[in-house]
Amino acid sequence: MNYMTADEKKNLEKQLKQCVAKQKVLSDRIGRARELGDLKENAEYHAAKEDQGMNEAKIKDIKEKLASAVVTDNESLPDGMVFIGATVRLRNVETESEDLYRLVGEASGNLDDDLIEVTPNSPMGQALMKSHVGEVVRVDLRRGEKRFEIVEIVQ
């Protein structure tokens, strides 16, 4: 299962449409490159074939994610429970510093300074999933164990 928000699913569907539309462009590019002659030494042909392969791999990956997608419904969750789509304020128990984290099904790659995205498969995501406000969660990181108090769920 691949948990995600409705917005994340829409974004994946949009990416899939873009990749499918790109197939025709890449096919035309390969055809034009073939017309240039000797395929063994035709850099344009090889580059187009490589781009086509990467696009096909991306299409396959997105289709697999969508096939196993489970869209979360945060409305039916108990109040104060962290689940996909939730933004939480965490306090590092050791340093008392606070940061905002968003539990996402699919990382956007957006490196927003105000918010740190974590997926359910990451150590932080695993610790946060189904935890509650007021709980202290333990996260096993490469640099050792850290503890965070869940201060609030920010919506």
Question: Structural domain boundaries of the chain?
Answer: 2-71, 74-154
Note the pLDDT of residue 75. Answer: 65
Note the pLDDT of residue 77. Answer: 60
What band does 64 get if pLDDT is binned at 50, 70 and 90? very high
Q: How far apart are CA 38 and CA 16, in angstroms?
A: 33
The yes-or-no verdict on residue 43 having pLDDT over 90 is no
pTM tops 0.85: no
Under 8 Å between Cβ of 84 and 72: yes
What's the topology of domain 2-71? Helix Hairpins (1.10.287)
The yes-or-no verdict on residue 18 having pLDDT over 70 is yes
The yes-or-no verdict on residue 80 having pLDDT over 80 is no
Note the pLDDT of residue 4. Answer: 80
| Residue whose tokens read 């074939």 | 49
Minimum mean pLDDT among 38-52, 74-88, 133-147: which range? 74-88
Note the pLDDT of residue 78. Answer: 65
User: pLDDT tens digit string along 19-28?
Assistant: 999 999 999 9
Note the pLDDT of residue 63. Answer: 94
74-154 sits in which CATH class?
A: alpha beta
Q: Which long-range contacts (CB under 8 A, 24 or more apart) does 70-74 make?
A: 70/1, 70/2, 70/3, 70/4, 71/4, 71/5, 71/6, 71/9, 72/3, 72/4, 72/5, 72/105
Note the pLDDT of residue 83. Answer: 84
Mean pLDDT of the chain: 87
